[in-house]
Structure 1
Amino acid sequence: MRISSNTQYIASTYSIQSNQYRLSRLNEQLSSLQRINRPSDDPVASAQLINLQQSISRNDQMVANSKTIESSLALSEEYLFRAGEIIQNIQSLAVQAGNASLKDEDRAYIRTQLQEQTKALVGLANSTDGQGKYVFGGTRSQTPPFSLELEPEMKVEYHGDWGRQEIQASSTRDIAVTEPGGLVFGGGSAVADPNKPDAFSDGNQLWQSLARLDKILADGPNGMAKAGGPEGSEVKDAAGDTVLGADGKPMTFKDGLPRLDASGAPLLEPVLDNAGDPVLGPDGVTPLMQAQTTDLPPTYDESLAASIEGLKGGHEQLLRSHTAVGARRAEVEQLAKTGEGLDVQYKATVGQLQDLDYAQAVSDLNMALLAMDTTQKTYKLVSELNLFRYL
């Protein structure tokens, strides 16, 4: 076989270039401290790194979302806690209002405190976050969710919706960061039947009981129905005449009946026979009467008791929302910790794929330098070979 000097030149040149490439690659790795600087360095590991980087980006976004959610829920919890304190203060005022020794001016003072506490409560229900968005407006976060009127009577209305704003906290979990105010505090103070002012509806007890408490404090016991006269005393009509009962004898007060309306008149209804006609008394003209027992206007004490019970129901409703917010906050804290743990694992895997073994790289560099030096010396010796030197 014949080997020309051109073949030797090509082989030597290739060897030098190969060693130069190896030295360049090792120097680049040592400079960046990364094993992979381009996909061609390790195609399989490069593909895995791309997937890992995408996972890290998604996870970083979820961790950031979790912190945003936690911050929003913490703010909601603080508002709900303060609202609960105000409701407890109002409950104390309602209990004070039941003191039988109070005068009208005392009740007026309690009413003033009630209205101020209600303003504070509505103010909390209209609270905003750091971006000026209303926390308890549902998905309507640009306008105040609640309105309050104090005159001529207390009136509260909810203008938000019943939706929740949600943020993704993980690849499989969206968490609500807001509670609709109608669910937390109630939809308004209007009762279903104006003739039954103490019939508060579930979900609206807080505002309805506040409005009712304000009304009875304004009216006072003297402006409302009364339980009746002294036990055993005769019942008189508006003209001062004795009222005859169903037995034809003078009617007497018994067990608080008949009840008196706000003007002091007894609440009566005629005795009816089987045909539905009034039964007449001994004079054949005046119908016999009996105490009215249905659709009775409530007394001050009855309305006060209903208001206290309604405040209790409204407070429990708020506490349920407070508990739900707290549970979501605890969940998102766990999701954030999970995300932080995943971040450590992802980055450890990236390190295993990409980080340079510094000691091994230095050793490889020294070997490459030695190989390069040997190749260059060999090339020099081979390139100087010439037959004419031996002739």
Structure 2
Amino acid sequence: MRISTSQYFGMNVQTMDDQQSTLAQLYQQLSSGVSLATPSDNPVGAAQAVQLSMQGAALSQYSSNQNTALQALQSEDGSLSSVNNVLTTINTLLVRAGDGSLNDGDRGDIATQLQGIRSQLMGLANGTDGSGNYLYAGYQASTPPFSVDPSGAVQYNGDDGIQHVQVTGTRNIAIGDTGRDVFLGISPAGSSPVTAGNSANTGSGTIGNVSVSNPTDPTNQDKYTINFTSATTYTITDVTASTTSAPQTYAGGQAITLGGGGQNVTISGAPNAGDSFSVTPAAQSSTDVFANLDSVIAALQTPVSGTGGQANLTNALGTAMTQLHNTMNNVTSIQTSVGGREQEIEALQTVTQTNSLQTSSNLADLTQTDLTSVISKYTMTQFSLQAAQQGFSMIQKLSLFDYIGN
């Protein structure tokens, strides 16, 4: 095959043009630090870079969401710690109020203290986070969740919505709890049945706490009343099942079996005919911490007269302390859940940060200039171009007339 002079010159010029183009491209990579400026530079790498960029953007958003969720949960955690401190103070005052040496004035002072603490608890229930959003209002984050009506009773104005934040591609996490759950509810686990004496009782009978011997007995979920038909006999009515036992003989301090025998309770003192007592499952009793406080405050403000009055006060304090125990158990359970969510987010933050760094590294490998490699290629291409130019310069000087002349 013959190659004409024009073809030879054209091939050499094309070769040098290609080398100059390669040099220009390598120089651009060196000056900009970017090895993948356009998809044509590396189509496969460009597609991978797009995927990595999208993944990096998603990880960045998840990281931001995780920070938001963690801040919200930390605000609630701190608030619940304050609530627990207030409830502990209330418990201490109720124990003190049970001191038999106190007079009506002393108990009135404790009631006044409890009223102030109730206001403090109300302030915590209407607490806000760092952005001014109410912690316990559900979706109504701009409205105070609790208010006081004209009768002095506390009303819940929030809703039951719980805000969630997507912290990973497959995980949404709750970043709050409602005021109804925290201040108006109880935890199914760890709560105790509530015992109470009728405020109209005239005898000196007082009811103790319930003792559970068989937690799985279904009749433990029934409500009971113990009605004294005389000073020495009583009947037990299962209010839930609408059944009443035969009259039983009363002995002070002796265990009274309820329902199927899964729980029992003791009554001490000397009840009178017509006196009654009740045992209510925790979930069916009053779970409103504000209403429960109001009830015990009213009991402390009522003057005590005679053995009947002292017994009624003792029963009211026992009821209040059991209700308070259930509230504290509920708040502790919720705070434990909040702490678990905080730990989960902190663990996810570590994973997300690691994935973000790896994604950024992979993207950099695809798009950023490898200086060592590019400089080496640049130098080799430059040498090749110079050699081609020199060789072409020498060859183009050759002519048949040079040989004829000799």
* TM class by smaller structure: 0.7 to 0.9
In terms of Rg, which structure is larger? 1
Q: Which runs of 5+ in 2 are unaligned?
A: 187-196, 200-277
Residue 386 of structure 1, CA deviation: 5.1
Mapped pair 1:346 → 2:359: yes
Task: Identify the residue that residue 155 of structure 1 maps to in structure 2.
Answer: 153
Aligned to 1:313, which of 305, 308, 326?
326
Query: Aligned to 2:357, what secondary structure does the other structure show?
Result: helix
Structure whose residues are more often strand by fraction: 2
Residue 388 of structure 1, CA deviation: 6.0
Q: Distance in 2 between matches of 1:339 and 1:10?
A: 56
Change (3 A) 1:63 1:202: farther
Matches within 5 A, 1:327-342: 327-342=340-355
Q: Distance in 2 between matches of 1:3 and 1:78?
A: 87
Task: Identify the residue that residue 170 of structure 1 maps to in structure 2.
Answer: 168
Residue 354 of structure 1, CA deviation: 3.5
Residue 77 of structure 1, CA deviation: 0.2
Contact 1:209 1:308 in 2 (8 A): no
Task: Identify the residue that residue 233 of structure 1 maps to in structure 2.
Answer: none
Deviations 1:86-124 (A, max 9, x none): 010011111121122222222221111111111111101
Query: Aligned to 1:80, what secondary structure does the other structure show?
Result: helix
Mapped pair 1:207 → 2:290: yes
Amino acid at match of 1:15: T
Residue 384 of structure 1, CA deviation: 4.1
Task: Identify the residue that residue 387 of structure 2 maps to in structure 1.
Answer: 374
Amino acid at match of 1:366: T
Contact 1:209 1:310 in 2 (8 A): yes
TM-score normalised by length of structure 2:
0.71
Residue 356 of structure 1, CA deviation: 3.4
Task: Identify the residue that residue 108 of structure 1 maps to in structure 2.
Answer: 108
Deviations 1:329-376 (A, max 9, x none): 111111111111111222232244334332222221111111111222
Matches within 5 A, 1:252-271: none
Contact 1:137 1:180 in 2 (8 A): yes
Task: Identify the residue that residue 217 of structure 1 maps to in structure 2.
Answer: 300
Task: Identify the residue that residue 192 of structure 1 maps to in structure 2.
Answer: none
Contact 1:125 1:146 in 2 (8 A): yes
Residue 326 of structure 1, CA deviation: 0.8
Q: Distance in 1 between matches of 2:393 and 2:116?
A: 100
Q: Which runs of 4+ in 1 moved over 6 A?
A: 195-200
Amino acid at match of 2:156: Y
% same residue:
29
Deviations 1:3-29 (A, max 9, x none): 444323322221121011110111122
Contact 1:122 1:148 in 2 (8 A): no
Q: Distance in 1 between matches of 2:139 and 2:303?
A: 41
Aligned to 2:369, which of 344, 352, 356?
356
Task: Identify the residue that residue 76 of structure 1 maps to in structure 2.
Answer: 76
Query: Aligned to 1:221, what secondary structure does the other structure show?
Result: coil
Contact 2:147 2:156 in 1 (8 A): yes
Choose 327-336 or 201-210, whichever is displaced more. 201-210
Task: Tell me how many residue pairs correspond in the alignment.
Answer: 313
Residue 140 of structure 1, CA deviation: 0.9
Change (3 A) 1:45 1:202: farther
Task: Identify the residue that residue 251 of structure 1 maps to in structure 2.
Answer: none
Task: Identify the residue that residue 325 of structure 1 maps to in structure 2.
Answer: 338
Task: Identify the residue that residue 35 of structure 1 maps to in structure 2.
Answer: 35
Query: Aligned to 1:299, what secondary structure does the other structure show?
Result: helix
Contact 2:146 2:156 in 1 (8 A): yes
Amino acid at match of 2:10: I
Change (3 A) 1:44 1:196: farther
Task: Identify the residue that residue 222 of structure 2 maps to in structure 1.
Answer: none
Matches within 5 A, 1:295-314: 299-314=312-327
Contact 2:185 2:330 in 1 (8 A): no
Task: Identify the residue that residue 286 of structure 1 maps to in structure 2.
Answer: none
TM-score normalised by length of structure 1:
0.73
Residue 379 of structure 1, CA deviation: 3.3
Residue 133 of structure 1, CA deviation: 0.9
Q: Which runs of 5+ in 1 are unaligned?
A: 189-194, 229-259, 263-297
Task: Identify the residue that residue 131 of structure 1 maps to in structure 2.
Answer: 131
Q: Distance in 2 between matches of 1:111 and 1:203?
A: 20
Amino acid at match of 1:13: V
Change (3 A) 1:355 1:203: farther
Change (3 A) 1:203 1:167: farther
Q: Distance in 1 between matches of 2:359 and 2:285?
A: 50
Query: Aligned to 1:360, what secondary structure does the other structure show?
Result: helix
Q: Over the residues paired in the alignment, what is the CA RMSD in angstroms?
A: 2.6
Task: Identify the residue that residue 263 of structure 2 maps to in structure 1.
Answer: none
Amino acid at match of 1:64: S
Amino acid at match of 2:161: G
Task: Identify the residue that residue 89 of structure 1 maps to in structure 2.
Answer: 89
Q: Distance in 1 between matches of 2:41 and 2:344?
A: 43
Change (3 A) 1:146 1:95: same
Residue 196 of structure 1, CA deviation: 6.9
Q: Distance in 1 between matches of 2:373 and 2:141?
A: 60
